[in-house]
Amino acid sequence: MAGVDCVSTVAGETKRPSYTVIRALLGCMAVCTLQYFLVLSTAAGIDGDNWQNWEAGALSGVAKRAFGDWFGWWLVAAAIVGSAGQYVAELLEDSYQICGMARAGLAPKWFGYLHHHYRTPWFAMFFQLVIICALVSFDFNAILSVDSFMSCLSALLEVFALLKLRWSQPDLERPFKIPVKSFWWLLVVLSPCIVFGTFVVIASFIADKFTLILNCVVLVLGVPLGWLAVKHAEKLGIKQNWEDGFDAGLDQEEVRTETADSPHAEVAVEEKELPSKGDPDTSLPAVNV
DSSP 119: -
DSSP-derived secondary structure for 238-279:
-HHHHHHT--TT-SEEEEEE--TT-TTSPPEEEEEE----S-
Mean pLDDT value of segment 163-181: 81
Confidence of residue 244 (pLDDT cuts 50, 70, 90): low
| Per-residue confidence (pLDDT) for residue 134, from 0 to 100 | 84
Confidence of residue 76 (pLDDT cuts 50, 70, 90): confident
Answer whether residue 280 shows pLDDT above 50.
no
| Per-residue confidence (pLDDT) for residue 195, from 0 to 100 | 92
Answer whether residue 257 shows pLDDT above 50.
no
**DSSP three-state, residue 177:** coil
Q: Let me know the angle formed at the C-alpha of 99 by 96 and 100, rounded to the nearest 5 degrees.
A: 85
Confidence of residue 78 (pLDDT cuts 50, 70, 90): confident
Q: H or E segment at 287? A: strand 287-288
| Per-residue confidence (pLDDT) for residue 243, from 0 to 100 | 60
Flag the least confident range among 238-252, 254-268, 273-287.
254-268
| Per-residue confidence (pLDDT) for residue 211, from 0 to 100 | 85
DSSP 104: T
Q: Residue 10 region, left (φ>0) first, then alpha (ψ -120 to 50), else beta? A: alpha
Mean pLDDT value of segment 132-159: 84
Cβ contacts of 211 within 8 Å, gap of 6 or more: 142, 145, 146, 149, 204, 205
| Per-residue confidence (pLDDT) for residue 56, from 0 to 100 | 73
Mean pLDDT value of segment 161-174: 85
Answer whether residue 251 shows pLDDT above 70.
no
pTM of the predicted model, to two decimals?
0.67
Helix, strand, coil share of the chain (percent; to 5): 70, 5, 25
DSSP 288: E
Q: Up-side HSE of residue 131: CA atoms within 13 Å toward CB?
A: 12
DSSP-derived secondary structure for 149-173:
HHHHHHHHHHHHHHHHHHHH-TT--
Answer whether residue 88 shows pLDDT above 60.
yes
Mean pLDDT value of segment 170-189: 81
Mean pLDDT value of segment 253-277: 38
Confidence of residue 160 (pLDDT cuts 50, 70, 90): very high
Answer whether residue 94 shows pLDDT above 70.
yes
Mean pLDDT value of segment 93-116: 86
Instruction: Enumerate the β-bridge partners of residue 255.
Output: 270, 288
